Amino acid sequence: MTIKEIVKKYSNELRFVTHIPAKEVEILMMFLLDKNTIWLHLNYEKEFEKEKELATLVKKRATNYPLEYIIEKASFYGEMFIVKPGVLIPRPETEILVENAVEILKDKKEEIKILEIGTGSGIISVMLALLIPNIKIIAVDINEKALVLAKQNAIKHGVENKIDFRLSNLYENVNENDIFLCISNPPYIANDYKLPPNVKYEPSNALFGGVVGDELLKNIIKQTNDKKIPYLLCEMGYDQKTPLENYFKEFNVEFYSFYKDYESFDRGFTLKFKN
């Protein structure tokens, strides 16, 4: 069968797990062939010789197993990152969090030190290392598997010398007193929330933030204030703006702002403490 015929045949098996079944079949084919989109479309009438392998991958994807875990890569901020099972898959809305940090850091002339809590696959730290010339980053996570992957992504993008990866539960192994900004996309989903089928394959400790969901976020806010770090930027749940805004009142805050994601849900905040 030709590539074109194979795409048509297997798209039908993915129609209930994705709104772009044909595109996903093509992505799986490109993964098996190690080819790009241009090559695939130029060779649409050629025979496809790896149907057996493709059938196995399509069957796996049809269970809602994430495409990114199958092909072990995901795009973020226009760059390609390595993705592995056991580590959270990058989300497009986290690009906004990176952009907000860049706005604060871009005009700094002297070397600046920042901290990322819960680095996961390392996408935030790696992007900031690429975008800000004079930056040093401490990137922490409680997941050793995540730290291994984050280091791989830092090496892939040539910024491993700018990032110090550490195994740490929040600030546990962070003793520096010259950190200018903390950034985090922490777990913020309530423990009893029923996840969509595709998300159940991702690590629960990177998703669930407590009984209410904002407990870990509040812990990060308090500890960042205790450490006298001026700026804190975090992603959050769509329904957490009001409780977090009320929590900010417990601290000496210079200013704060919230932002929305690409679907206009409240998704995060920038907070500056008076120190």
pLDDT in tens, 218-240: 999 999 999 999 999 999 989 99
Round to whole Å and give the CA distance between 263 and 267.
10
* Structural domain boundaries, residue 233: 87-273
**pLDDT of 30 above 90:** yes
Whether 77 maps to a domain, the answer reads: no
- Averaged pLDDT for residues 204-231: 88
Round to whole Å and give the CA distance between 173 and 268.
25
CATH of the domain at 230: 3.40.50.150
- pLDDT recorded at residue 192: 77
Q: What is the pLDDT of residues 151-162, one digit of tens each?
A: 999 999 999 999
- pLDDT recorded at residue 173: 95
**pLDDT of 246 above 80:** yes
**pLDDT of 13 above 80:** yes
The more confidently predicted of residues 22 and 197 is 22
Side chain identity at residue 178, one-letter code: D
Round to whole Å and give the CA distance between 103 and 181.
12
Whether 75 maps to a domain, the answer reads: no
Q: 116 with 22, same domain?
A: no
Rg of the chain (C-alpha set):
21
**pLDDT of 124 above 90:** yes
Whether 128 maps to a domain, the answer reads: yes
Q: Is the distance from CB of 142 to CB of 205 less than 8 angstroms?
A: yes
Q: 100 with 8, same domain?
A: no
